Chains A and B, each alone.
Chain A
Amino acid sequence: MSLRDVGFEYVTSDRRVIRALEGVSLDIPRGTTVAFVGPSGCGKSTLLKLIAGLLTTTRGSVVVDGRAVVGPLKHVGMAFQNPVLLPWRTVLDNLLLPLEIMRENGDPRTPNRVAGRDRALALLRTVGLDGAEHRQPRELSGGMRQRVSLCRALIHEPALLLLDEPFAALDAFTREEMWELHQALGLDRAFTGVLVTHDLREAVFLAETIYVMATDPGRIAHVHPVTFPVPRTLGELYGPAGTELIRQMRDEIRPRREASA
């Protein structure tokens, strides 16, 4: 996947033109995970929506698998800070929703009902929710819901997984568990991941490349490859190399915030 000189502008209700993103060019090799970090308003989430085709670039182009993205990509997995499960469906039926839509749309990659169900149960087992398939979302804790949301994003085995602050609403310990879980899910599956986050540790733990963004206009300010081998451990993350990388990125983000404040 590659982005070439991507820009995005929009007009606010009081007719100001906001340059949410400008001149973003980068390549994301298949099967790797990249993270975008930066202050609020730097266009991270917008960038994610441009990649998914949920928004259309006003400059430049997004190319996925050799084709320019013009409308919403099909077959993408997404998860957000808000797990947005359907409260009238059980956990299992929530997971099967993407497969239902693929089946209705005649997607040849749709597994049959039995295989789809097996896949859902296997995912639940991986995230430690075996036995929860017939429970209602309202009976689950925040961390459990977020795990279901992550499973829903992976059930159709997407080639592209887009995560927007997926763990931001969780407590620190649950969040670390989710990082390890997400890494485990990634080892079994060959998806390309794009992660948007405020949490620099999360980016270091999960991404192969980190893009530090800046505001006004939203743009890429720094690029950091993360060289720890995968799978990573929390020990490495909190070790000297991880801590040094986090410190460096924090310094890159902070002065801009103070200057703009």
Chain B
Amino acid sequence: MSRANVRRLALPLLVFVGLLLVWEAAVPALRIQPIILPPPSGVATAIVETAGPIAFHARHTLVTTLIGFGAAVGLGLLLGFAIGASVTVNDALYPLLVGFNSIPKAAVVPLLVMWFGIGAVPAVLTAFLLAFFPVAVNVAVGLATLESELRDVLRALGASRWQIFRKVGVPRTMPLFFASLKVAVSSAFVGSVISETVASNAGIGYLMAVAASDFNTRLAFGGLFVLAAMGVLLYGVFAIVERRVTGWAYAE
């Protein structure tokens, strides 16, 4: 690992550990009730004691997130290609998409529960609804910003619209597409946890809701830390994929 990489990992880690230490010291020093704010050591104990159920619920959240995310990538790609390739489709759909995207998705969860009952289906759907927009917009932008000169060069060779789309449109959209994946996977994660919190009997969101209603503050915080770790991990995986696949889009 290069020095720059060590620095990039070590600095935030150092700050994180420092904050935990301050927190650990502040709870007894300020006489805070552990039921209001447990010290990090208590949260860690809770995570270790409840490791089995946490792993089960974490897996559940991960699966619902990834299913919703997968569906969002599929539909996002299709919509993005349609909007980017056709001005008519763009004019017709883009305003509607923006309107739809401005609905706070938490408000949709009760409706989904009404239709599909309590469980994984509303969580998957919420994850999907939150995640497809960034994919669709990025793909559409990638296609729509194709240089007119490049289009002319290819048309003058007898290339069809489909050939221009395949040979140039799709590859030049890939950096934007992969950039959107890390945003989309984070959104999907938020969506599934929101839905789990409101209406589910599995998942970290559910675990936290139950822990909170039992005044088990330590476990609720434990869930929060697990969510943070999962969120960072999901983002990180797609950030690395992006770098690997579309390295050409970055200056040396």
Q: Which of A10-50 contact B (CB under 8 A)?
A: 49
- The residue from A74, A78, A138 contacting B153, defined by CB atoms under 8 A apart: A78
Asked whether, in the complex, the Cβ of B248 is within 8 Å of the Cβ of A156, the reply is no
Asked whether, in the complex, the Cβ of B252 is within 8 Å of the Cβ of A74, the reply is no
Asked whether, in the complex, the Cβ of B248 is within 8 Å of the Cβ of A72, the reply is no
Interface membership of B249, Cβ < 8 A: yes
Nearest CB on B from A96, distance (A): 11
The interface residues of chain A lying within 8 Å CB-to-CB of B243 are none
Interface membership of A100, Cβ < 8 A: yes
- What is the CA–CA distance of A75 and B157 in the complex, to the nearest angstrom? 5
The listed residue with most A CB atoms (<10 A of its CB), out of B154, B160, B172, is B154
Given contacts A49-B152, A54-B152, A84-B150, contact A101 B158 (CB under 8 A): yes
Interface membership of A82, Cβ < 8 A: yes
Nearest CB on A from B170, distance (A): 11
Asked whether, in the complex, the Cβ of B159 is within 8 Å of the Cβ of A88, the reply is no
The interface residues of chain A lying within 8 Å CB-to-CB of B157 are 74-76, 98, 101-102, 156
Nearest CB on A from B95, distance (A): 19
Q: Which of B148-181 contact A (CB under 8 A)?
A: 149-150, 152-160, 163, 167-168, 171-172, 174
Closest to B250 in A: A138
Given contacts A72-B158, A101-B163, contact A86 B171 (CB under 8 A): yes
Chain B: interface secondary structure?
Answer: helix
Q: Which of A149-164 contact B (CB under 8 A)?
A: 152-153, 156, 162
Interface membership of B229, Cβ < 8 A: no
Asked whether, in the complex, the Cβ of A78 is within 8 Å of the Cβ of B249, the reply is no
Asked whether, in the complex, the Cβ of A54 is within 8 Å of the Cβ of B156, the reply is yes
Closest to A97 in B: B167
Closest to A49 in B: B152
Interface membership of A52, Cβ < 8 A: yes
Interface membership of A107, Cβ < 8 A: yes
Interface membership of A73, Cβ < 8 A: yes
Asked whether, in the complex, the Cβ of A80 is within 8 Å of the Cβ of B156, the reply is no
Q: Which of B194-252 contact A (CB under 8 A)?
A: 246, 248-249, 251-252
- What is the CA–CA distance of A146 and B229 in the complex, to the nearest angstrom? 48
Interface membership of B147, Cβ < 8 A: yes
- What is the CA–CA distance of A21 and B8 in the complex, to the nearest angstrom? 59
The interface residues of chain B lying within 8 Å CB-to-CB of A74 are 156-158
Interface membership of A171, Cβ < 8 A: no
- What is the CA–CA distance of A107 and B160 in the complex, to the nearest angstrom? 13
Asked whether, in the complex, the Cβ of B168 is within 8 Å of the Cβ of A86, the reply is yes
- What is the CA–CA distance of A205 and B150 in the complex, to the nearest angstrom? 27
Closest to A100 in B: B167
Asked whether, in the complex, the Cβ of B156 is within 8 Å of the Cβ of A52, the reply is yes
Interface membership of A77, Cβ < 8 A: yes
Nearest CB on A from B217, distance (A): 51
The interface residues of chain B lying within 8 Å CB-to-CB of A139 are 252
Nearest CB on B from A197, distance (A): 16
Interface membership of A225, Cβ < 8 A: no
- What is the CA–CA distance of A100 and B159 in the complex, to the nearest angstrom? 10
Interface membership of A105, Cβ < 8 A: yes
Asked whether, in the complex, the Cβ of A152 is within 8 Å of the Cβ of B159, the reply is no
Asked whether, in the complex, the Cβ of A72 is within 8 Å of the Cβ of B153, the reply is no
Nearest CB on B from A127, distance (A): 18
Nearest CB on B from A74, distance (A): 3
The interface residues of chain A lying within 8 Å CB-to-CB of B154 are 97, 101
- What is the CA–CA distance of A79 and B246 in the complex, to the nearest angstrom? 26
Closest to A155 in B: B157
- The residue from B152, B172, B174, B252 contacting A138, defined by CB atoms under 8 A apart: B252
- What is the CA–CA distance of A105 and B157 in the complex, to the nearest angstrom? 10
The interface residues of chain B lying within 8 Å CB-to-CB of A101 are 154, 157-159, 163, 167
Closest to B248 in A: A88
Nearest CB on B from A179, distance (A): 21
Interface membership of A183, Cβ < 8 A: no
Asked whether, in the complex, the Cβ of B171 is within 8 Å of the Cβ of A88, the reply is yes
- In addition to A102-B158, A105-B159, A107-B158, 7 A-B residue pairs with Cβ atoms within 8 Å of each other are A76-B157, A78-B152, A86-B150, A97-B154, A101-B157, A138-B252, A156-B157
Can you identify 28 A-B contacts, CB atoms within 8 angstroms?
A52-B152, A53-B156, A54-B152, A54-B156, A72-B155, A72-B156, A74-B156, A74-B157, A74-B158, A75-B157, A75-B158, A78-B152, A80-B153, A82-B147, A82-B149, A84-B147, A87-B172, A87-B249, A88-B171, A88-B172, A98-B157, A100-B167, A101-B154, A101-B158, A101-B163, A105-B160, A138-B252, A139-B252
Chain A residues close to B by CB (< 8 Å): 49, 52-54, 72-80, 82, 84, 86-88, 97-98, 100-102, 104-105, 107, 136, 138-139, 152-153, 156, 162
Sorted nearest first, the 3 A-B pairs with minimum C-beta distance are A74-B158, A76-B156, A84-B150
